[in-house]
Amino acid sequence: MPLVSTPDTRLSRANRRRSQRILLPIAVRISGELPNGRRVEEETSTLVVNAHGALLRLCEPVHEGQILTIKNMTTGEEATCTVRDINTVPGGLIEIGLEFTEVRSRFWRVAFPPPDWSPRSPEAKRFVSSASVVLKPAK
């Protein structure tokens, strides 16, 4: 019998994440060497970042387990990553999940919320729409 992903199994997988994901496009350069010795280098941008790596799309083929270098084009900082996941997407691109080979929690220059954070957390700031703000006339 095939396994079916239910809301409960999706939630349990999400709860196992080491850090929150953030949808954030950051310009990056990916470089490395294929097993055949051919050098790859491509500029792209992240789709999702977290404290342990990123999700992005490439034209160049890479292999799961391959070591790549990622350069944050905003800061110039570089980090070594391992390709952890590869998916083909429409348009001939591949979507890859990269994991830093060593802890680089400040690489993206964003503050990640804790794994148990949600918009319902007491620490979450409430959004106040302009329609709900009542202005008092000046005296």
pLDDT in tens, 7-65: 444 444 444 556 778 899 999 999 999 878 889 899 999 999 999 999 999 998 899 99
- For 19-132, which CATH superfamily applies? predicted glycosyltransferase like domains (2.40.10.220)
- pLDDT at site 61: 86
Which sequence spans correspond to the domains of the chain?
19-132
pLDDT higher than 80, residue 133: no
C-alpha closest to that of 77 among 113, 111, 32, 26: 26
- Percent of the chain whose predicted confidence (pLDDT) is above 90: 51
Supply angle C-alpha 111, 116, 117, rounded to 5: 55
- pLDDT at site 115: 64
pTM of the model: 0.70
Q: How far apart, in whole angstroms, are the C-alpha atoms of residue 47 and residue 28? A: 11
- pLDDT at site 124: 57
pLDDT in tens, 95-114: 999 999 998 889 999 887 66
117 neighbors 125 (Cβ within 8 angstroms): no
